[in-house]
Structure 1
Amino acid sequence: MSEAPDPSSVRLPGDWEHLDVRANGVRFHAVEPAGVPAGDRPLVLLLHGFGEFWWSWRHQLTALTEAGFRAVAVDLRGYGDTDKPPRGYDGWTLAGDTNGLVRALGHTSATLIGHSDGGLVCWATATLHPRVVDRIVVVASPHPRALRRRALRDRAQREQFLNLFLRNQIPRVGERQVTRDDAAFIADYFAQRSSSSWRSGPDYAQTVELNRSAMLIPYVAHCSLEYRRWAFRSQFRPDGLRFMELMDQRLHLPVLALRGRDDPYILSDAIADGRRWAAHQTYRQIEGSGHFVHQEQPAAVTEAILEFLRTEPEATNDVATEKARRIRPARTSWYSPARFVARIRRSRRAPDGR
C-alpha cells in the first residue's frame, strides 16, 4: 500500500448504517442494519477482538436484527474509525466505554457479546457496571483471572498466549512488527489460528485483506497493542492488582462462553475455569472452527447466541446477588509483583508447567 488508509475506509457499504456515538469522552464508530427502527428492541452490543474491527460481526448483525434485537457493532477505542486517544486502554476505562455506549444509544441495559479482547471488556463491564448488563456472550475469551491462572500454571496455554504478549511490550518494536509488509502480521495471525476449511474460502481472503488495511490506519497498531501492554504491565502495578481484586467476585447474570473446538490460541480449560466467577455460565464448543469461530461458523454461533438470549435466566436470590457484586475489601498479602515473577520462573523450570 502506497499510503496509509483513511479511518473512514472501514465504513464499508452494505445493508447497514454508520453512526457516530459519543461516550466516555470518545467518539465511537458504530454500525447497525439500515431501515430498522430501534423501538423497544433489546440492545445487543457487539465488541470485536484484537486486530479486527466491527466487520467481524457482519453475520450476527443481520441475524440478531431479524430475530427482533437491536444489534450494534462498534469499533473499540483506538480501532477503525473510532477516536484514538493516547490513553484509556486499561480495564477500568474500557468498561466505562461500554457503560457509556449503552446509555448513549438510548438504552438502560444491554446484552454484551465480545470476542477475544472484546470479551475481556464484557467481563469487566459486567463486574464494574452490573446495572447496564443483562447477560454476556464471550467468544474465545476466558475470565481475566482464569486466563492469568492458566497462563501461570498451564505450559501449553502459556506458550500460546504469553509469548505474543511479551514480544509486543517494547514500544515501537511491536508497532513495526504489526505493520511491516502491509500488515503481513495480521495475515499470519489469522492463518495460524483459524480452521483450514475457512481459509480455503473467499470469505477468509476478504476478511484478511480488510483487517490488514484496518491495521494500517494511523495509530491503530499502537492503540491495539496498548490493550495488551496494559494487561501485562498492570500485573506489576497497584492499579492492576486492584483491578484483579475487583474481578474476583462471582457474577450472577447469565453467561454464554463459546470456543472453536480447534482453537490453538485459547485452550478449553481456560474457558471452562470461568465457572468459578460466573454462577450461570454455559460453555459450548463449536465444531470445525478455530479462534475466529463467529466468522468461521457464523450460523452455528448465531444459533447458540439466539438460543441463549431466548432462555429465561435462572432465579437468583437478590440478597445473595448484591452480596456477590459488592466490591471486596483490598487484600494485599496474597499477591505481589515479586510473587508473580517467581511463579513464572518456577513454572518454566517445572517439567509439567506447574
Structure 2
Amino acid sequence: MTEIAHRHIDVNGLSMHVAEAGSGPLVLLLHGFPECWYSWRRQLVALAEAGFHAVAPDQRGYARTGGPGRVEDYTILHLTGDVVALIAALGEEQAVVVGHDWGAPVAWHTAQFRPDLVRGVVGLSVHPRPRSSRPPVAQMREQFGDGFYMVAFQQPEVPEAVFERDLPDTFRRVLYAASGDAADLVPVVPDGGGLLDVYPAPGRLPGWLTEGDIATFAAEYASSGFTGPVNWYRNLDRNWELTAAWHRAPITPPALYIAGERDMVLAAPGVKERLPRLHDFVTDLRDIVLLPGCGHWTQQERPEEVNEALIGFLRTL
C-alpha cells in the first residue's frame, strides 16, 4: 500500500502542512469547507500509483497549517498566491491544480490568473463562473434571505462558535447532510434556528463515511478551529472588488469539471442550464462528468469514479 507522507513547507509566511504521495508530474489537491488534506486520502494513493506526485495541502487558515488572524488576509489573491508559492516551493515550474468546493474557485482562479503555471485544472462540485456584475453577498441576500449560510457567515464570531461547540457533531451533521445519501439540502437557517439546524443529524452514517473519518476531521480542527475557514466567506465582496481586472477573462488551460447530480451546488437556480455554456468561458474544457446519486462530497462519496476521471484527464496532458 502506498504511504502518505506529511511535512510542513514555508509558503508565503505560512508553515503549510501538506500530505503527499508518489513521484512524477505534480498534482495539487485543494480541499473545500469544512475539510482538510484528509478529504483527498483516496486520491493521494491512486494518483501516486498512477505515476504522479500528489500533494494535498491544508490551505490557509485550515487544520495543521493555521493562518493569520485578520479577515482581509484570506482573499482570493492570498489563496491563489499560496498555490503559486507552493508550486515553487515543491521545486516545480507547473502543476495540475485540482480543487473541490472552495478549493475549486481557488483552482479556477489560479488557472485564470497564472495559466503559465497550470498544466491543467479540475474543479469538483463548484463550476467556474465569470465575475458577476455586482457584489455577491447582496445578491445572495436578495435571492435567499439573511438565513442563507454564506450570508450568515458574514457575522463576526458567531459561525465559528457554533461549529466549534461540538466538533464531532458538526462534522457528522455537515458531511451527512450535504451528501447524496441525505434529503435535498436547503442551506438556509430556519426562522428562530441556528446554523447547525441547516444540517440534520443522520440516523446512521452512509457507507462512504465512518465514525473514524469524523473523528479524524474533528482532530484536525481541534487546534486551529473554524475562524480561518469562515474568513474565506467573509471576503466574498472583497474578492469581487479585487478581481475587477479579470472581469470576463477566460480560463485557458485544459480543464475538467466533475460534480454529483445530487450536489446542492447543481440544485441552485439555473446552474444545470448553464453547464453547456461553460465552454464559452473555459476555452479548453475537455469534459463535464456528472455522477448519478452523488452529493456534494464528490471525491469522498465516489472515490473510484473520481479517480478514473481524474487520471484519464491527466494522461491526456
Which bin holds the TM-score, normalised by the shorter protein? Answer: 0.7 to 0.9
Looking at structure 1, the residues matched to 66 and 220 of structure 2 have their Cα atoms a distance apart, in angstroms, of 14
Q: Does 1:118 align with 2:103?
A: yes
1:251 maps to 251
Looking at structure 2, the residues matched to 162 and 95 of structure 1 have their Cα atoms a distance apart, in angstroms, of 29
Amino acid aligned to 2:181: S
Encode CA deviations 1:171-196: one digit per residue, 9 max, x unaligned. Answer: 11111121123353332221211122
Looking at structure 2, the residues matched to 292 and 259 of structure 1 have their Cα atoms a distance apart, in angstroms, of 9
Asked if structure 1 preserves the Cα contact closer than 8 Å seen for 2:256 and 2:288, the reply is yes
Amino acid aligned to 2:8: D
1:82 maps to 65
Looking at structure 2, the residues matched to 118 and 58 of structure 1 have their Cα atoms a distance apart, in angstroms, of 15
Asked if structure 1 preserves the Cα contact closer than 8 Å seen for 2:124 and 2:257, the reply is yes
1:23 maps to 11
Change (3 A) 1:162 1:146: farther
Q: Does 1:229 align with 2:234?
A: yes
TM-score norm. by structure 1 comes to: 0.73
Q: Which moved more, 1:16-25 or 1:46-55?
A: 16-25
2:281 maps to 277
Looking at structure 1, the residues matched to 86 and 145 of structure 2 have their Cα atoms a distance apart, in angstroms, of 32
2:222 maps to 216
Amino acid aligned to 1:193: A
Asked if structure 1 preserves the Cα contact closer than 8 Å seen for 2:131 and 2:240, the reply is no
Asked if structure 2 preserves the Cα contact closer than 8 Å seen for 1:256 and 1:283, the reply is yes
Looking at structure 2, the residues matched to 200 and 276 of structure 1 have their Cα atoms a distance apart, in angstroms, of 37
Q: Does 1:131 align with 2:122?
A: no
Looking at structure 1, the residues matched to 216 and 56 of structure 2 have their Cα atoms a distance apart, in angstroms, of 16
SS at match of 2:74: coil
Q: Does 1:186 align with 2:171?
A: yes
CA offset at residue 311 of structure 1? Answer: 1.8
Q: Which has the higher contact order (CA 8 A, sep 6+)?
A: 2
Looking at structure 2, the residues matched to 174 and 125 of structure 1 have their Cα atoms a distance apart, in angstroms, of 28
Looking at structure 1, the residues matched to 234 and 241 of structure 2 have their Cα atoms a distance apart, in angstroms, of 15
Change (3 A) 1:189 1:276: farther
SS at match of 2:264: coil
Change (3 A) 1:147 1:191: farther
Asked if structure 1 preserves the Cα contact closer than 8 Å seen for 2:75 and 2:232, the reply is yes
Q: Does 1:296 align with 2:279?
A: no
Q: Which runs of 5+ in 1 are unaligned?
A: 1-13, 313-354
1:171 maps to 156
Asked if structure 2 preserves the Cα contact closer than 8 Å seen for 1:46 and 1:74, the reply is yes
- Rg: which structure is higher? 1
Change (3 A) 1:183 1:89: farther
Encode CA deviations 1:198-232: one digit per residue, 9 max, x unaligned. Answer: 943263433233223333323x310000001101x
2:192 maps to none
Looking at structure 2, the residues matched to 213 and 66 of structure 1 have their Cα atoms a distance apart, in angstroms, of 28
Asked if structure 2 preserves the Cα contact closer than 8 Å seen for 1:112 and 1:137, the reply is yes
2:262 maps to 262
Q: Which has the higher helix share?
A: 1
Residue from 204, 209, 226 that aligns with 1:203: 209
CA offset at residue 64 of structure 1? Answer: 0.6
2:240 maps to 240
Q: Alignment identity in percent?
A: 29
